[in-house]
Amino acid sequence: MAKKSKKRKTLTGTVHKIIKPAGSGMPEKAEISIHEAEDLYREIRIENALVTEDGEKVKLKEGADVDVIVEADSSDFIKKPEN
């Protein structure tokens, strides 16, 4: 099967705060401020559970600089009109 071509954009961000679980069994969240986003849509929240290349479980800490990658198959894009 042929490998699909992907397009991506990398955005920079900072972990603004760590949000403790609201109840037992719920995950801790990391709130990330994306620098290039519009003010109203700047923050995203993700589960604060990552895995290193070696398989070690880790968490983000407040103030950490991060990259947020938006990636999609080439078939999900349209050409941008020239102005």
What is the domain partition of the chain in residue ranges? 6-72
pLDDT tens-digit readout, 35-76: 999 999 999 999 999 999 999 999 999 999 999 999 999 888
Nearest to 67 by CA among 41, 45, 35: 35
Residue 69, pLDDT score: 95
76 alpha-carbon distance from chain centroid: 19
Q: Is the pLDDT of residue 2 over 80?
A: no
What are φ and ψ of residue 43, in 5° steps? -95, 135
The structure's pTM equals: 0.81
Residue 76 sits at φ, ψ, to 5 deg, of -95, 10
Identify which has the larger pLDDT, 15 or 2: 15
Residue 1, pLDDT above cutoff 90: no
Return the closest-CA partner of residue 16 out of 63, 81, 79.
Answer: 63
Where would I find the H helices in 8-62? none
- pLDDT at position 79, please? 81
